């Protein structure tokens, strides 16, 4: 048996989740639709596999402190006739939502994803853990600010986090718009092939 096949299978076997009728995934709302299409066509790349491996490692540490990994969440949006589904990386004691990311800097799409989970669970605390080869950082979402857990410094977010934001993200998704909601293009793995960035 080839090690490559074992590892690829282990780190990609959770990807195929069946979407029910009128269901929208939280990641659908925050991820660029073109990027989603690339992943569907090409499957997992090494960056995605690396991300799953890092998630597994961080989860295995925080489970020792009472955190529950991979918690499914749901939000009915009657105004749009859809059910939003998601899976929180970790739900820790005290109704504390934790999302794990492998980039080296904060991305607005991650903050919005965290907000949606916090909203759905009415969480008392919500944190982003960034772990890359150059970074270990934890940020807490406090109102409309993102605060560094170590330094205590906070930054105002450029958007307002509320239920209306969730509705606008659902509308964008339901209309099938292909433009990203957040500035993701500069760090996108597929930027050199993206039809939105290629000269016409």
Torsions phi, psi for 133 (to 5 deg): -65, -20
Residue at 188 is within a domain:
no
CB 89 within 8 A of CB 69: yes
In a domain, 156, yes or no: yes
Coil vs helix vs strand at 122 = coil
Q: Are 109 and 31 in contact (CB under 8 A)?
A: yes
179 CA to centre of own chain: 18
Does residue 163 belong to any structural domain of this protein? yes
CATH code, domain carrying 27: 3.90.320.10
Residue 164 lies in a domain: yes
Within a 10 A sphere around the Cβ of 128, how many other Cβ atoms?
23
Reading the chain (200 residues) residue by residue, the pLDDT tens digits are: 687 777 667 666 655 566 778 999 999 899 887 776 766 666 656 677 778 888 889 999 999 999 999 999 999 999 999 999 999 999 999 999 999 999 888 989 999 999 999 999 999 999 999 998 888 999 999 999 999 999 999 999 999 999 999 999 999 999 987 677 666 677 777 767 777 666 65
Asked whether residue 15 is assigned to any structural domain, the reply reads: no
Q: Which domain holds residue 152?
A: 20-182
- Decide if 4 is inside a domain: no
Residue 26 falls inside a structural domain: yes
Question: How many structural domains comprise the chain?
Answer: 1
Give the pLDDT of residue 52.
82
Count the neighbouring beta carbons within 10 Å of the beta carbon of residue 10. Answer: 13
8 closest CA partner among 38, 53, 55, 65: 53
pLDDT of residue 67: 98
pTM of the shown model: 0.87
Burial (Cβ within 10 Å: 0-12, 13-18, ≥19) of residue 82: middle
**DSSP 8-state code for residue 65:** G
DSSP H/E element including 126:
strand 125-131
Q: Determine, yes or no, domain membership for 1.
A: no
């Amino acid at each position: 048996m080839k090690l490559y096949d074992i590892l690829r299978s282990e780190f990609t076997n959770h990807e195929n989740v069946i979407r029910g009728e009128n269901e929208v995934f939280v990641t659908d709302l925050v991820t660029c639709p073109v990027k989603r299409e690339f992943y569907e066509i090409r499957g997992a790349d090494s960056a995605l596999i690396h991300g799953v491996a890092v998630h597994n490692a961080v989860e295995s540490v925080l489970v020792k402190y009472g955190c529950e990994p991979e918690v499914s969440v749901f939000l009915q949006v009657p105004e749009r006739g859809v059910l939003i589904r998601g899976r929180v990386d970790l739900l820790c004691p005290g109704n504390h939502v934790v999302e794990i990311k492998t980039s080296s800097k904060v991305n607005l799409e991650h903050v919005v994803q965290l907000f949606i989970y916090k909203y759905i669970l009415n969480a008392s605390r919500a944190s982003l853990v960034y772990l890359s080869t150059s970074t270990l950082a934890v940020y807490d979402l406090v109102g409309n600010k993102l605060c560094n857990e170590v330094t205590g410094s906070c930054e105002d977010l450029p958007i307002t986090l509320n239920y209306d934001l969730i509705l606008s993200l659902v509308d964008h998704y339901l209309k099938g718009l292909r433009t990203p909601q957040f500035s993701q293009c500069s760090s996108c793995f597929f930027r050199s092939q993206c039809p939105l960035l290629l000269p016409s």
